[in-house]
Amino acid sequence: MMKTAVLASLVGSAAAFAPASVGRSATSLAAGEKSAALPFLPDPANCQGYVGNVGFDPLGVSNYFPVDYLREAELKHGRMCQLAWLGYVAVDLGLRVPGYPEAMSGATSATVHDAAVEFGALGNIFVFLGLAEMASWIGVSQMLQGSGRAPGDFGFGSAYLVGKSEEQIERLKLQEITHCRLAMLAFSGVVTQSVLFDKGFPYF
């Protein structure tokens, strides 16, 4: 049973990066259609039409929460993990910003937590992240009330899309969600490996 569960999770993770049709579709699902990512499960109907959808929802979360909200969370965590992976590795390669506290200068990415708590920096980070989260919720709340805002859209980089066709924009969205999914796996992996091997980059 455990082997089956592990195999299913691995297959699902790999399938999440498979090419998928982009854009929303109004076409209804045929009865009994199976998920592309997990062919032994039904295709989640509520996920249809979203960029990057491969039918991966083994717990049926999309039946209980708005998919726009789920996509918002996926994009947010994916973007954070892209930055987090880069920052994690950069610190372990010796990068320090000007004014970095001397008390934390010898810490690695894996050990900086305790040093940051003792110095007081982690509390400040928590406050700033809380403020950012509250501000972002305004847009999310409006989206859930039908404002027409696309999940993850905070107006940054919109000028880059000017002049591009709908197909090109959808392809860029697919690239972003694919990178987000990869980054979430990559950050989990880099943290785990750095702790297990207790070595600097490349952590083995």
Please write the tens of the pLDDT for every residue from 10-68. 444 444 444 444 444 434 444 578 999 999 999 999 999 999 999 999 999 999 999 99
Instruction: Give the number of other Cβ atoms within 10 Å of residue 90's Cβ.
Output: 14
d(CA 193, CA 204): 8
Summarize pLDDT for 169-179 with one digit per residue, the tens: 999 999 999 99
> How far, in whole angstroms, is CA 163 from its chain's centroid?
27
Helix (H) or strand (E) holding 137: helix 121-144
Note the pLDDT of residue 23.
Answer: 41
Helix (H, G, I), strand (E, B), or coil: what is residue 42? strand
Q: What is the DSSP letter of 15?
A: H
Q: What are phi and psi of 114, to 5 degrees?
A: -65, -40
d(CA 87, CA 93): 10
Sign of dihedral through CA atoms 156, 154, 20, 9? positive
Helix (H, G, I), strand (E, B), or coil: what is residue 149? coil
Whole-prediction pTM = 0.80
Helix (H) or strand (E) holding 74: helix 67-92
Note the pLDDT of residue 115.
Answer: 85
